[in-house]
Amino acid sequence: MSETQSIRWPRNDYSRVPNSVYHDPDLYELEQRRIFEGPVWMYLGLDAEIPNPGDFRTAWLGTNPVVYNRDAEGTVHAFVNLCAHRGAIVRRELCGNAQDHVCVYHQWCYDPTGALVGVPFARGIAGKGGVSKEFRREDHALRKLRVENFRGILFASFSDETVPLTEYLGPVITAHLTRLMHGKVRIIGYQRQKMRGNWKAYAENTRDQYHGSLLHKFLGTFFTKTTTLGGLHMDPRHRHSLVYSTPAKTFDAPLATKADLVHNVDSFADERVLRFIPEFGADYEYGNAICSLFPNAVFQQIRNNLATRQIRPKGTDSLELLWTIFGFEDDDEELRKHRLMQMNLGGPAGFVASEDGEAIELVHKATKDRRDTVSLLEMGGTGPLTEFAPTRMNELALRGFWSYYSELMGTEPPNAIR
């Protein structure tokens, strides 16, 4: 696809998706510039991951390797982890603590803002060699990103055009994230997962409530049946989604009996995996809430399991997820272990989420050589999008994703809904 061509959307409401969008390498390249380097806020990491001056972590935003770190004054900076000299990865570790960042190849040295502060033998040796007279270190800083912190969540952007972060997230999402991040965050674990599919199919999957109790047999059998109440909220631009379910009686603590919570109780051995310890306030209704942020993040609350997922595209055919599992400083040991144990629900090898990777791979395999085919998104209706749906049987947030995607990519159909 050239930059002037459009995706051929069969309908202006995104209720039909050409399956070529998951496979086209030119489209993938364009996404890097127009989305991941475009006017969006990307999820970078959690502030609690780098609590001390000098702490750093590495991550990926789209195809850009990045470092985020805290300087001596406590300010967080982020920059592209690609050496200005010959393009080597500067920081090879996942995390650490350092006052500066030295590239292993020729030892060029960068400060926490990404500024180039040292070039070995810049003046040569004994008057011979070295860089040219015109060389100025300030011309060769690492590419910087803007960083914002919302409730301990770090967001980054390459663009100066990005709207303010809270406006980007919208009121429903900011309210939810505020409730979710209700204490001083403590990181309690990481997991990583690879999927052989396209990053957009994963972004759709976490916005897709329809599959929840159908694909995930554990859910349908023991916990949230297809008839369990739930619904969807979106921001006004339909970039992000908050999908939730409200299983009956799941907020009585301590649980009176296993049967209050579990369907098919006779075949369910241990109710702890579904136990909910109240922590969000009496009026919090969600048994599970999956909050997907455009373009690269998911915030999950599955019972007491809290985690972020960073979506990292790795070509049209592959993606990586980084799961960061967290609790709060004032959790007791029992709650900390409970949160970790419940990663067995929504984690990469969990009773619930392990099927998602399989479903994405099934789609990818079948459509790879049939790019002329089209997917269907009609659950919850067609036509204009709403910000709320009082049912789990909907695919509205997937259409919202494509609507904003197309706006950024410049591939909207005539009279596109937004």
Task: Give the footprint of ligand FES on this chain (CB under 6 A).
Answer: 83, 85-86, 88, 103, 105-106, 108
Q: Nearest distance from residue 69's CB to ligand FES, in Å?
A: 18
331 touching Fe ion, by CB under 5 A: no
Number of residue whose CB is nearest Fe ion: 356
Indicate the residue among 38 and 112 with the shorter CB distance to ligand FES.
Answer: 112
Q: Which does 105 bind (CB under 5 to 8 A by kind): Fe ion, ligand FES, none?
A: ligand FES
Indicate the residue among 45 and 346 with the shorter CB distance to Fe ion.
Answer: 346
Q: Nearest distance from residue 148's CB to ligand FES, in Å?
A: 29
Phi-psi region of 407 (alpha: psi -120 to 50; beta: other; left: phi over 0): alpha
Q: Is 381 exposed, middle or buried (0-12, 13-18, 19+ CB in 10 A)?
A: middle
Indicate the residue among 91 and 200 with the shorter CB distance to ligand FES.
Answer: 91
Rg, Å, the chain Cα set: 23
Distance CA 78, CA 45 (A): 11
Indicate the residue among 118 and 410 with the shorter CB distance to ligand FES.
Answer: 118
Distance CA 389, CA 342 (A): 28
C-beta separation of 154 from 296 below 8 A: no
Q: Which does 103 bind (CB under 5 to 8 A by kind): Fe ion, ligand FES, none?
A: ligand FES
Q: Nearest distance from residue 330's CB to Fe ion, in Å?
A: 31
31 touching Fe ion, by CB under 5 A: no
Q: Nearest distance from residue 395's CB to ligand FES, in Å?
A: 47
Q: How many CB atoms lie within 10 A of CB 109?
A: 16
Q: Nearest distance from residue 87's CB to ligand FES, in Å?
A: 6
Q: Nearest distance from residue 121's CB to ligand FES, in Å?
A: 11
Distance CA 257, CA 149 (A): 42
Indicate the residue among 31 and 356 with the shorter CB distance to Fe ion.
Answer: 356
Phi-psi region of 130 (alpha: psi -120 to 50; beta: other; left: phi over 0): left
Element (H, E) at 160: none
| Interface characters, 345-374, with Fe ion (x: CB under 5 A) | -----------x------------------
C-beta separation of 371 from 27 below 8 A: no
Q: Which does 356 bind (CB under 5 to 8 A by kind): Fe ion, ligand FES, none?
A: Fe ion
Helices and strands counted in the chain (H then E): 10, 20
Q: The tokens 């990292």 sit on which residue?
A: 312
Residue ranges binding Fe ion (CB under 5 A): 356
